[in-house]
Amino acid sequence: MTKEKKLPSLGVLLTILGMFVVIMFGFIVILKLPIQLALLVVWFVILGFGVYLGHNYLEMEKGLLKGIYEGMGAILILIAVGALIGSWIAGGVVPTMIYYGLNIISPSIFLMAAMIICAITALSTGTSFGSAGTAGIAMMGIGESFGLPTYLVAGAVISGCYVGDKMSPLSDTTVMTASLSRVDLFRHIKSMSFVSIPAFIISAVLYWIVGAVMYDGQGDLSIAENTLTGLEQNFNVSWMMLIPAVIVIIMLAFKLPSVPVILFGALLGSLWATLFQGYGFIEAIQTLYSGSEQSTGIAFIDNLLNRGGITFMLEVILLIILALGVGGLLQSIGAFTVIGNLFAKWANNTGNLTLTTMLASFFGVFFGGAAYVSLLTGTKITEENYDRKNVSRTLLSRNVEAGGTVTTPMVPWSDGGVFMATTLGVATLAYLPFFWYGFLVIIISLIYGYFGLFIMEKDAHEKAKDEDHEENGGYEIYEKTV
C-alpha cells in the first residue's frame, strides 16, 4: 500500500533547515571536518524526512539527480577554468599580467583599479570564474606585493568579477535569468543597470579611499621590487605572453560558447609554455591536468602561482555536486512549494515582492549550493506574484540576480564561494566583509523596492510574451551559454 504524500508543514520545513545549519556549523566549526561530509549527512536527513512525508527513495533519487544536473554547467566551467589557470601560469600569461601591473598601477589606487580591471575582464568574457582565475590571480599577486591585506584585495577582485558577470550579455547566469523570467535579455540588463551602476561607483570610491588611506606615498615597495626581479628571472616576460588572453577575449566577444573557448585558451597556454617558457611538450600539456609548479624564490608568489589544473578543482566539484543534491532533494519533497505559498501571501507590495524574491533566490544558493539553483528557486517560487500585481518581470529578473547570482560568493559551500576561496587563496568568511559590491546591490535593490523606484508595469510587449508562453503550454526554452 502506497503511503499518501504530503507537503512539509512550516514546522517540519523549519526543522529541516535548522538541522542543516546545525550540521554545517558542527562539522565545519566544531569538528573541523570537511564540508563535503556535512552535506552528505544532510542528504540522509532530508531523505529521512522525505520518507516521513510519504515519498519513496526512487522518487527522491530522481529529484537529487535533477538537482545535480541543473548545476552541470558550472561544473564544466570549473574543469575548463582549472585547466586554463594551470597553463596560463606555466605559459607566462598570468606572471606577465602581474609584472606589467606592478609597473603601471599606483599602490594608492590599486584596489579601485583591481575592481575595474576584473569588471572589464568579466564584462568582456561573461564569466566571473574565468576572470577571477586569470586577472583575479594577477591582481592578488600585485596587491600582496604592495603589502595590502589579501582579504581586502580579494574583496575588490570578486566585486569586479561579479559586476562584469551580471552586466555581460555573454554571461550564462544573465542569459538564463532573462529566459526564466521571460524578459528580453537587454531589457534585463537595462533593469539591472539601475542597481549595478550605483553599486559599482560607490564600491570603486570606497576602494579608492581605503587604498589612499592605507598607502600614503611612503609605503615600503621592496616586496614589489623583489617580485619584479623574481618574475624577470623565472619567466620570459613580454607583451607576446598576453596574446592567448587577447584571443580568448575576442572569441568570447563574438559570442562563441564559453567552455570550448576557455579550453582552447588553455591549450594556447600550454603551447606558450613550450615556445617561450622552456617547458617540454608533454610537461606543458600536463599543466592542464595537474597545474603549474613554480619556484621563484619568493614564498608568496610561489604560493600564488603553484595552482591550477583540473585536479585543483576536484574537491570544489565534489562539494558543488553534493550541495546541488541538497537542493534537488528539498525540491523533491515539496520544500520549494511550501515557501512559494508562504511568500505569495506576504508579497503584497513591491517592497515585499523584492524581499521575497531575493530570499527565494538566496535559498537556492544557501541550500542548493549554486547560482543556477538560485535562478530557478527565485523565478519559480515568486514569478506569479509579479503577474498578480501587474508588475513588469524586469523587476523579477533584477531581484533574482540580486538575491542569487551576487550572493553566491558569500556562501562558503556554494559554487561561487568555494571557487573564489580556492582560486584566490582567501577564505570566504575572510573576504566577505570586503565584498562591498555584493552588499550594495542587496541594499539598493531593497531601497528601490520599498520606495517604488525604477518599478515598471507590464507593457504590451511583455503581455504578448506571456500569451505566447501560455500557448506553448508553459514551457520555456533557453540556451545555456555557460
| pLDDT tens digits for range 219-269 | 556 777 778 888 888 899 999 999 998 998 888 778 788 789 989 999 999
Cell numbers at residue 458, please?
A: 507590464
Tens of pLDDT, residues 346-405: 878 889 999 999 999 998 888 877 787 788 888 888 888 888 888 889 999 999 999 999
391 DSSP β-pair partners: 457
Distant-in-sequence contacts of 213-220, Cβ < 8 A, 24+ apart: 214/148, 215/107, 215/108, 215/110, 215/146, 215/148, 216/108, 217/108, 219/107, 219/146, 219/147, 220/147
The amino acid present at 117, given as its one-letter code, is: I
Task: Say how far apart CA 447 and CA 343 lie, in whole Å.
Answer: 19
Cell 594577477 belongs to residue? 138
Q: What is the pLDDT of residue 467?
A: 53
3-state secondary structure of 389: coil
Res. 446 pLDDT band, cuts 50 70 90: very high
CA atoms within 13 A on the CB side of 278: 6
pTM of the model: 0.81
Tens of pLDDT, residues 312-327: 888 878 877 887 888 8
User: What's the mean per-residue pLDDT of the chain?
Assistant: 85
Task: Say how far apart CA 96 and CA 108 lie, in whole Å.
Answer: 21
Q: What is the pLDDT of residue 49?
A: 93
Tens of pLDDT, residues 404-432: 999 999 998 888 998 899 889 999 999 99
Mean pLDDT of 37-58: 92
Which of 73-77, 287-291, 474-478 is predicted with the least confidence, judged by mean pLDDT? Answer: 474-478
Task: Say how far apart CA 35 and CA 197 lie, in whole Å.
Answer: 35
Q: What is the pLDDT of residue 460?
A: 55
Tens of pLDDT, residues 96-143: 988 888 888 888 889 999 999 999 888 877 788 888 988 898 899 888
Q: What is the pLDDT of residue 456?
A: 76
Task: Say how far apart CA 344 and CA 359 lie, in whole Å.
Answer: 13
